[in-house]
Chain A
Amino acid sequence: MASAREEILQRIRNARVPAAAPVVRGYLQEGPGGIDLFAERVADYRAIVHVVTDVPQALERLRGKRIVAPQDVPAEWLIDGVTWLHEPLTIAELDQADGVLTGCAVAIADTGTIVLDGGEAQGRRALTLLPDYHLCVVRADQIAGSVPEALGRLEPTRPLTFISGPSATSDIELDRVEGVHGPRTLEVLIVT
């Protein structure tokens, strides 16, 4: 008896689907972009947005809290007066933290999205998932205008998380409610 794999592949070949027309990518490749559009779109998801020039000063809001930070965030972000939690951290430790501070890989102005790829200042995926509050620092040059521009800047084989606002659900009467399993508060610092 043929294996499931062989049988399925043979059945596909037997269907003799004709070759398809070449894909016409007539849609927009670029978006207007910009800090203002990105800030407006992030805020539409009921995330909190600030445009800042001085990151350490903006981080004063974390004073007195227990905040997870990946080991490789810029040293100046680790201000005094905050209990910084670094890896290795257990799931329970992450769950009990007050929040997490990260950078990002890319952001998308059109859709108000932040993308994490586990690279510099981002850490592994669980870090930005378990704490109930996520503060994300986005540099102006990381903001891509459109979805196509953003995907072009990403390495697909890295573990990626696209974040558009705090966790939400539309499962009750198709009405959006913010805050389910992921962080219920998302705060974004756009650095110019």
Chain B
Amino acid sequence: MARNPVTWLGSPTFPKAAREALQDTQLRQNLRRATGTIRGRREAAVAEMTDWEMLRVAGEQIKDDVLARLDTLLVQLEESVTARGGVVHWARDAEEANRIVLGLCRDEGADEVVKVKSMATAEIGLNEALEAGGVHAVETDLAELIVQLGDDRPSHILVPAIHRNRSEIREIFQRRMGIEVSDEPADLAEAARVYLREKFLTTKVAISGANFAVADTGSIVVLESEGNGRMCLTLPDTLITVMGIEKLVPSWQDLEVFLQLLPRSSTAERMNPYTSVWTGVTPGDGPQRFHLVLIDNGRTSTLEDSVGRQALRCIRCSACLNVCPVYERTGGKSYGSVYPGPIGAILTPQLVGDMRDPQAASLPYASSLCGACFEVCPVRIDIPSVLTHLRAEAVEAKGRTAESIAMAAAAWMFREASRYEKAQKAGSLARFLARDGKITSLPWPGSKWTSSRDVPAPPAESFRTWWRKNRG
């Protein structure tokens, strides 16, 4: 089976990538500023809602219901979309999805398509696959455009260019658009407007993702801010929407919950500027050919895990990234995946579906388990519990390792008080390895521990020894 492009080929494990990212002071400064701003705003937007907790509970329950009835609801969605003139395609993995979309572009004779920001298409590496097939995909979301023009990788679910500040963006625009522009956000937005206008008005095929799909009506929902989404969803002749199979809600009424949860959680607004809803094809209004590509790409195997499947409730708001102390310091690229941050740490390894993959297996450790992510999650995904559950899986997948042997030895040592005391005495000798009260590299087998963390230097004598001497 082909490797899942949800992780980037050749990415180092998280501790290694994080160590490098931490050296980048510009990155840390940009992230601290951006996440600090959005954290404060989200809090205010949520505090305004007296029924926020009830909305979260309803959001969790609706999504759990979707996962319990996913087969029935998908078939229902397919029927409703087909009845309204759409065509539904199914793809087991990224490769199959990319092949379908490329085929549809070729059927339309398109060598260029416009795209609305979509996590699903980023996950399957669609742009690269289209490019290889001779179709150029133009990203139209401002942050995606910054990433694309900068030959860069995304580092945030909502704002893929969050790691760039205004002067870096100015530099990219000047270099790639061949223009003079200031570093004022309004001027940069204007530059993007001018750059993309012609593309919107002339391109015949658009590709989008979906925030939600309503099973009983076949309606697809996209939330956005800039109007680039409306351009892509309205002006071209053909629209291709790529969507993960878990993006469903059973009925139209269920949207009343998510249209309140999502904007406040993601951009901290009462409502995002534009939300588009369309159902199949509407004669005389918008694209007259509509294709919906449903992708699995690791979701059904995630569904099998009774603890891990709650990650499929995710509505991609990115609130968990913005509150995560680890994400704020390491940035999104350290996670080696389009899904960074706390949700990425539980979703990515499950979509990869192979804990023998050292990079994927390192992601559940990208957390201090502080729990801030769970508190802000609008669909109440208990991320810390899934992290510890996946850590156990990662350990199991490794089999008998130096660490597991050391743990077994530790268990033997802890069982007898006398053994424990002897070990403590031996351990206190390790303080000679410390500098500034910290040990950063222990000899083997301790090196297995210190390769990813520091250990405080042990005291000269244990509490037990001190007690015996002074109080005993």
A interface residues, Cβ below 8 angstroms from B:
3-5, 7-9, 11-15, 17-28, 41, 44-45, 91-92, 95, 108, 110-113, 118, 124-126, 129, 147-148, 151-152, 156-177, 179-183
Contacts and interface: CB of A to CB of B under 8 A. Distances in A.
Contact of A156 (B57, B196, B214): B214
Q: Most chain-B CB neighbours within 10 Å: which of A14, A15, A113, A118? A: A15
Given A129-B234, A164-B272, A180 B30 contact: no
Contacts, number: 245
B278 interface: yes
A1 B115 CA distance: 33
B371 interface: no
A8 B244 CA distance: 12
Given A118-B285, A164-B269, A182-B226, 15 more contacts: A8-B74, A12-B303, A23-B254, A27-B260, A124-B284, A129-B231, A152-B253, A157-B279, A158-B282, A159-B276, A159-B285, A161-B274, A169-B226, A170-B225, A181-B200
Contacts of A21: 61, 64
Interface stretch (B184-192, B340-348, B390-398): B184-192
A165 B273 contact: yes
Contacts of A8: 74, 90, 92, 245, 294, 296, 300
B436 interface: no
Contact of B267 (A18, A157, A170): A170
A60 B331 CA distance: 52
B166 interface: yes
Contact of B166 (A13, A151, A173, A182): A173
**In the A-B complex, the 8 residue pairs with the closest CB atoms:** A182-B227, A181-B227, A11-B300, A180-B226, A162-B275, A171-B143, A160-B277, A164-B271
B253 A173 contact: no
A24 B61 contact: yes
Given A19-B68, A174-B38, A166 B92 contact: no
Contacts of B253: 148, 151-152
B51 A27 contact: yes
Interface stretch (B157-165, B409-417, B420-428): B157-165
A152 B259 CA distance: 13
Given A167-B225, A180-B226, A17 B67 contact: yes
